[in-house]
Chain A
Amino acid sequence: MPNLISFTDKGLFCEAGNFYIDPWKPVDRALITHGHSDHARFGNKYYLCQRLSKPILQLRLGENNYETVEWGENIFMNGVAISFHPAGHIIGSSQIRLEYKGEVWVISGDYKREDDGISGKFEPIKCNAFITESTFGLPIYCWKPQNEIYSKIINWINKNKETGKTSILITYSLGKAQRVIQAIKETTENIFAHGAIFNMQKTLIDSGFNLHEVKHVTPETPKVLLKETVVLAPPGAEGTSWLRKFHPYSLGVCSGWMQVRGNARRRNVDAGFALSDHADWNGLIETVKATGAQKVFVTHGFQAAFSRYVNEQNIAHASEVKTKFGDEDEEISSPLEIKNEEAQL
């Protein structure tokens, strides 16, 4: 029997069901694991996603032909059984399980193992073949428990207050921002946010999520109101004149990449917090083991190292797959926005 999923130039394709998963070129039918821009792209004629992802897709992609499902609900396309399951990465993020003629494939999308209280609790799913991300697929990436990192962030905010500084936290607008806001909401009366984060937070609250409100920083916001507060901004705001308004400030970044000191130094930030929405090395390995999959396809990240390790340890038969995930998202490994420059190369 041919593989249930094949890797094509448009993306992950299920021939039997005639649909794609997170395609990077426009197709007729797309199943979407989550709302980050490298997984949910423009131009598809039909989108199937988990219910909680829909407002995110609407905000980012506008009105389209969306259909939603609940976690664990079964739907069928040409006899292929499809179900979505929590991936714990961001709100609505899902693993997609496919079953056809007795064979089960699971596509992980992006996932994290620790329950952040917002994104749903990840659970490994038994399958024959598992397609996994590997963003942090090296043993140097081993996360500390989130509460420990939250305390560090809170201590840092308090220390900044004492020295009369505003705390600017760089977080991805979708995912990390919601998580960090929940973690620090007790620390400070007002949390201010860049438009990208404010809009995302508002959309989620309007669609029924019980999240903490943040205040929008606009050109009219008086400087004195911002003094010694916490301001959240997306990576794109780093190094721009937008930050000047907050002077004096201290700049912190929340990202798994902060695990390595060089990354924090390169970005010229005052504090790096290795808070990630992806599985760490042990999380990836435990997951692969728990799925019981005989075949493992390793996508975006350290796919060569991770698949070699999985093979060497006889955990499964692993192979690398090249995808366009992790490339053009704001979660790119390179800290600088390189999207615009690509054309020049």
Chain B
Amino acid sequence: MTDQVSNILNETPLPLMKRAGIGLFAELVVELSTSTKTNDKLQSLVNYFAIAPDEDKVWVIAIFSGRRPRRSVSFKLMRQWCAEVTGLHDWLFDECHGTVGDLAETLALLLPENKDDSEQTKSLSFYLEKFIAIEKEDESIKKNFIIETWKNLNRDEKFVFNKLITGSFRIGVSQKTIVNALTKVVHLSASVIAHRISGNWDPVTTSFSELMSEASSISDFSKPYPFYLAYAIDDKVEVLGNIEDWQAEWKWDGIRGQLIKRNHELFVWSRGEELMTDKFPEYFILKDLLPDGVVFDGEIIPSVEGKPLPFAVLQTRIGRKNISKKQLQEAPISFFVYDLLEYNYEDWREKSLLERRYKLEEIVSPIENDVIRISQTIDFKSWDNLAQLRETSRDMNSEGIMLKRKDSVYKVGRKRGDWWKWKVDPLVIDCVLVYAQKGSGRRSNLYTDYTFAVKDGDQLVTFTKAYSGLTDKEFAQIDNFVKRNSLEKFGPVRTVKPELVFEIAFEGIAASNRHKSGVALRFPRMNRWRKDKTVDEINTLHDLKQMLEIYGK
């Protein structure tokens, strides 16, 4: 490992690091968030990993893979202390927050700049471990720590410090980039590193060398494999060639998950690498039904007798700390399994899909319990035939079709070539923009978050929000329209002259008593800006109710 590090040091001149510790991390964040090329990001990470102390490296891996310590200080208190330091009123803070779109950054911009830049800052791990240490302490101790730290940090450092407390870093660094950077500083393959840094490990107790050591960390029985993700097929399906080479399955609308049984224990991971075992007590029985040392890839999905229910049913359960009896009855969860990643404690990812599937069926078919089902493959005679079958997706509460090459191995991350998703066309409805709010992140100070309405007689009834689907240029045009055509201001929300018509696309529709319109949409986004339509030509609440009748039951 040392050889490789020194090679990198020789190849690339390192920027002068005036400030070590959290300052080095702040520089990394600035570089990552401003660079627009994956290669530059990779280089920044490699430079960082080459010179940062080991205890900080572990935290950087943890943070960028979503393992932040629990929030030890609330937004409210951070604001309050900032107000005490700056003397600014709440309304002015809100104006600033609305414009910046990010609390951590707003605080960093408002707090007085630390003039003395010579003082060394503490390490990243110091601050993170301090967050954990003060979690249960009195408010006064927290306050003292935070205000004193603010005094010692420059603006970029204050930003990352606040960000570490308040939220996750979204700076366009994928797990893949982290893994690739690590392959440049340690002698392990990408797939091994990806596996090592996933799962259940704690940056407080795990050292960098333990995490990256040759000695396998198999003692962690819960560790999942990185998921293989499919791209949407963007061409005619015929280009995939011979139908004999392909396996077709229904694409389910649940939570992608891994179900692991090792050492007589059961673990359930979501694609977001969240350990969700306790959320699905239905699965507990599988501990007795499955052999030891298996890992399944599949869909966590509500279903009755093998027939999937709409995703909205599952939504009522996730996010709850405790699952009630009623929820267990109304939204019973199954696992629709489609791949086998480990068998008899052996990594099966390099075997072909056919081989994995054969073994999978051998394990799962004898189990006669609704809680686990093999996701059936679809027989088809031609691509045309499959296209016809795809049209029936919605009838089975499926989102479309998955196509997997029969000889494909199980890869890491989103890759082209062997796995494709072929979704059914979305549902669409024409509606008018009525409220707008400023966005955050790269949309700060731009009106990009919209609420839409359909007609109900002479009235307009709001029914959905949507934030995505338009180009930057279109967002700029609408921002300009909103600024010139605001009717009223409610806090950060502007009421807009109902004039701009959009086609909203969505994946599903369900009844909802939380919304005025009585419906809730799944994955709404702006499909098209209908400049050719006026507000008189939009759809009605009646149209929406009919869609609910057809697709939402």
Contact = CB atoms under 8 A, between A and B. Distances in A.
A186 interface: no
Given A138-B99, A140-B110, A334 B89 contact: no
B105 A261 contact: yes
A268 B102 CA distance: 18
Contacts of A235: none
A189 interface: no
Contact of B445 (A159, A263, A264, A308): A263
A336 B472 CA distance: 8
Interface stretch (B28-36, B272-280, B313-321, B382-390): B28-36
Interface string A128-166: 000000000011101010000000000000010010000
A117 B105 CA distance: 32
A interface: dominant SS: mixed
Contacts of B445: 260, 262-263, 333
Interface string A303-345: 0010011001000000000000000000001111010011011
Interface string A92-104: 0000000000000
A236 to B, nearest CB: 13
Interface stretch (A22-30, A59-67, A269-277): A269-277
Contact of B100 (A140, A142, A144, A251): A140
B86 A262 contact: no
A312 B90 CA distance: 13
Contacts of A162: 13
B92 A309 contact: yes
Contacts of A305: 92, 95
Contacts of A142: 109, 113
Nearest to A137: B95
Given A262-B441, A263-B445, A269 B92 contact: no
B477 interface: yes
Interface string A265-292: 1101111100000000000000000000
A266 B442 contact: yes
Contacts of A338: 476-477, 480
Find the residue from B110, B441, B477 having the highest chain A CB count within 10 A: B477
B464 to A, nearest CB: 23
Contacts of B246: none
A302 interface: yes
Given A270-B36, A338-B477, A341-B477, A308 B472 contact: no
Nearest to A312: B89
A336 B448 CA distance: 14
Contacts of B36: 251, 268-270
Contacts of A251: 36
A270 B34 contact: yes
A53 B13 CA distance: 46
A259 B109 contact: yes
B441 to A, nearest CB: 5
B444 interface: yes
Interface size class of A (residues with CB under 8 A): 35 or more
Contact of B442 (A265, A308, A336, A344): A265
B443 interface: yes
Contacts of A342: 480
A262 B444 contact: yes
B86 A270 contact: no
B34 A335 contact: no
Contacts of B441: 262, 265
B471 to A, nearest CB: 10
Interface in B75-96: 86, 88-89, 91-92, 95-96
Given A159-B15, A263-B445, A269-B36, A341 B109 contact: no
B473 A269 contact: no
B380 interface: no
A139 B110 contact: yes
Nearest to B35: A270
A63 to B, nearest CB: 33
Nearest to B40: A270
Contacts of B100: 140, 260, 262
B354 to A, nearest CB: 43
Nearest to A251: B36
B95 A138 contact: yes
26 contacts: A138-B95, A139-B86, A140-B109, A140-B110, A142-B113, A259-B109, A260-B99, A260-B109, A260-B445, A262-B100, A262-B101, A262-B441, A263-B445, A265-B441, A269-B36, A270-B34, A270-B40, A271-B34, A302-B95, A308-B92, A312-B89, A334-B480, A338-B477, A341-B477, A344-B477, A345-B481
Interface of B: 13, 15, 33-36, 40, 86, 88-89, 91-92, 95-96, 99-102, 105-106, 109-110, 113, 159, 440-446, 472-473, 476-477, 479-481, 531
Given A335-B476, A345-B481, 18 more contacts: A140-B99, A260-B100, A260-B105, A261-B444, A262-B102, A262-B443, A262-B444, A265-B34, A265-B442, A270-B34, A270-B40, A305-B92, A308-B92, A333-B445, A334-B479, A336-B476, A342-B480, A345-B480
Interface of A: 138-140, 142, 144, 159, 162, 251, 259-266, 268-272, 302, 305, 308-309, 312, 333-336, 338, 341-342, 344-345
